Amino acid sequence: MYLTKQEEKMLAGEEGRAVKKSMEILVALGRIFGADKLIEISSVQVAGVSYHNLGDAGLEYLNELAKDGRVKNNITATLNPAGMDLKDWKKLGIPDRFAAKQMQVIDSFRKLGLEITCTCTPYFIGNKPKPGEHIAWSESSAVAYANSVLGARTNREGGPSSLASALTGKTANYGLHLDENRKAEVLVNIGSGVELRTVADFGALGHAISRKVKNKVLYIRGIKKAGIEQLKAFSASTATYSGTALFHIENITHESKNTEAPKDKVIIENRDIKESYDFLNDGSEPDFVSVGCPHASLKELEKIASFLKGKKVKKEFWIAVSRPIKELAASKGYVKVIEDAGAKLACDTCMAVAPLKGRFRCLATNSAKACYYGRGANGFKTRFCSLEECVKLAVR
Ligand code: F3S
């Protein structure tokens, strides 16, 4: 792999130990995946923020980097959700010991120069790359959204490699950074009788496709309309269940007009969507309701507030959201309505990365991805339904 003189110096340690370590990671990845060179990036989103996932070994690694590493100028660098609300963790029932460790993790990221905005929807809060920009993001739903909806270019990075990109301003030139790897590989025809309306429907669609196709660039035909919330839900579901990091939806997503529909095809009919709903529903009476996976938009908070107005929740109900979107929602009065009803805005975190094991039995959610992590990481049964139905279950 070709390295410039400057990159050779960085690799040799002339810009410090953190840069050296970061270059080693990027060069190793580049060699494994056959990259010809390193390229400049403009934006980073770093996963591996929850102490629940990092543990002491991860914290030690960050502390080591923070001794002399800093995010390069001109790079927007934000974080994935942490294991708790960074201000109101007590209200979410997070133990003090966990909170202390989580704050050490955050301090290390702060020293490294990352923005302490912990969210999987960075594109709602200013980390929104332009079409064609090379970036290094690591949360899988954000990666699929950035590639497909925004038209930016990123591989599905790990936490350490995206952090390495933040500290060097570079990534290896392979995979989805290259035109030839962004071409669609499989055509997904959505049957004319399939009605996709809610966010949950789009999550079910991602799951239904995953039962027929894995790890391919998709070209999807037959979706008439999809808003930002539906696209983020689909990004999360297809990334989780299919491993998809890029999809093209005809007449909707950024690169679909320049992409040829492939010959290989699969068809999705109503029965496929129904089977996915059945699969994602293995629970009956939830004791925990959680929406905002990926983190809620302002429009979703507006909807939740309208469903909750004048009601009281009877179950633990979390709405995961980034802090800037919560603040915007507060200025419009949605937060007051939601909190008056007894629901909780879980800022900076979500039900998958918070330490929740053993606290609940059955999760109700409108996110297909949340079902995966609720079951896998926390052993919950899951009830998968629309946002409106989730709110009804919370107040019942
Ligand atoms: Fe985001 Fe957590 Fe879902 S990181 S995509 S809210 S599992």
pLDDT digits (tens, 9 = 90+) for 230-242: 999 999 999 999 9
* Domain ranges, residue 292: 281-395
Q: State in Å: Cα 3 to ligand 1 middle.
A: 36
DSSP label of 72: P
Q: pLDDT tens for residues 68-79?
A: 999 999 999 999
Question: What percent of the chain lies above the pLDDT cut of 90?
Answer: 99
Give CA–CA dist 107/71, Å, rounded. Answer: 14
- In whole angstroms, what is the distance from residue 302 CA to residue 261 CA? 37
Q: Are residues 363 and 251 in the same domain?
A: no
What distance in angstroms lies between residue 36's CA and the mean position of ligand 1's atoms?
33
**Is the same domain home to 245 and 299?**
no
- Tell me if the pTM is above 0.75: yes
Q: Check residue 395 and give its pLDDT.
A: 97
Residue of minimum CA distance from atom 3 in ligand 1: 293
Instruction: Say yes or no: CB of residue 363 within 6 Å of ligand 1.
Output: no
Q: How confident is residue 283, by pLDDT bands cut at 50, 70 and 90? A: confident
CATH number of the domain residue 131 falls in: 3.30.499.10
pLDDT at 318: 98
The whole-number average pLDDT for the span 207-221 is 98
Res 284 pLDDT > 90: no
- My answer on whether 189 and 330 are in the same domain is no
Residues 233 and 332 in one domain: no
82 lines ligand 1 (CB under 6 A): no
The domain boundary residue, chosen from 252, 279, 306: 279
| Ligand 1 site, residue 173, Cβ cutoff 6 A | no
pLDDT in tens, 290-314: 999 999 999 999 999 999 999 999 9
Spatial contact of 83 and 354, defined as CB atoms under 8 Å apart: yes
Burial class (CB within 10 angstroms; exposed 0-12, middle 13-18, buried 19+) of 330: middle
Q: Which of 179, 171, 132 is nearest to 155 (CA)?
A: 171
d(CA 21, CA 164): 8
Distances in Å between the Cα of 343 and the Cα atoms of 286, 309, 338, 394 are 15, 11, 6, 9
* pLDDT of 122 above 90: yes
Among protein residues, the one with the nearest Cα to ligand 1's atom 1 is 294
Number of folded domains that form the chain:
3
Q: In whole angstroms, give the CA distance from residue 303 to residue 280.
A: 23
State which ligand 1 atom lies nearest to the alpha carbon of 47.
4
CA distances from 156 to 135, 177, 215, 247 (A): 10, 11, 12, 14
Ligand 1 proximity of 45 Cβ (cutoff 6 Å) = no
Nearest-CA neighbor of 391 among 305, 295, 264, 296? 305
Residue 328: per-residue pLDDT: 98
- pLDDT tens figures, 138-169: 999 999 999 999 999 999 999 999 999 999 99
